[in-house]
Amino acid sequence: MIVAKRKPFKEIKGLVSGSKKILVLGCGTCVAVCLAGGEKEVALLASQLKMALALEDWDLEIDELTIERQCDREFIEEINHKVNVDDYDLILSTACGAGVQLVSDVFGHKAVVPALNTTFIGVAEGPGVWTERCRSCSDCVLAETGGICPVTICPKGLVNGPCGGTRQGKCEVDPEKDCAWTLIYNRLKKLGRLDRMEEIAPPKKWSAQQHPASVIHEAYKRRYE
């Protein structure tokens, strides 16, 4: 899932400065799970803005709306059935960066600004705790490393390790964190696949990281040819 966190309130106030009516648009998927941009977070942000601006005698009308996903045109188009976008000076999006950009594409005549900072692709470790697990490198090595990503978890991104700085299973960059390659060693040992550690991994195919990237499913290729 994509993990994000809310921008500082002062920055958000600056982003909506000069507006008379805005729409706070929430996203009900990833950012809702990480408690940053779902329906509850939209309501909280709208309330905070209303209270703060009332103290400054700033007359700002704020509406709230949360859709299933802001990274999917199908759901964005539903906005037109619920509100009139032209009524707003600005849309304050609580989606990840991808969602903000797609909403901007769909409503190209309307300013769309982010209320969140997108941080990483990660997993939920427990209530209120998320950790980064994937860098979207387009050249996955998890089959060789026991399902543990060295590109993400190792601060040096080593695909052959460990380095000479590991001490008692901890990382020299951050002694509080486990060495990624110690984790990989222990996982491969448990799986009976330690022979994988003897193989020298080739350099990463960084050329696979085409930005901006796009993927077309085989079933839809003819449609776009």
115 with 142, same domain?
no
pLDDT tens-digit map of 138-171: 889 999 999 999 999 999 999 999 999 999 999 9
Under the banding of pLDDT at 50, 70 and 90, the label for residue 204 is confident
Q: Tally the domains of the chain.
A: 2
Same domain, yes or no, for 114 and 158?
A: no
3-state secondary structure the chain: CEEEEECCHHHHHHHCCCCCEEEEEEECCHHHHCCCCCHHHHHHHHHHHHHHHHHCCCCCEEEEEEECCCCCHHHHCCHHHHCCHHHCCEEEECCCHHHHHHHHHHCCCCEEEECEEEEEEEEEEECCEEEEEECCCCCCCCCCCCCCCHHHHCCCCCCCCCCCCCECCECCCCCCCECHHHHHHHHHHHHCCHHHHHCCCCCCCHHHCCCCCCCCCHHHHHHHC
Same-domain check for residues 18 and 116 = yes
Q: What is the pTM of this model?
A: 0.86
Domain that holds residue 47: 2-120
- Residue 129 in domain: no
CATH code, domain with 70: 3.40.50.2300
Examine the domain organization and report whether 115 and 59 are in the same domain: yes
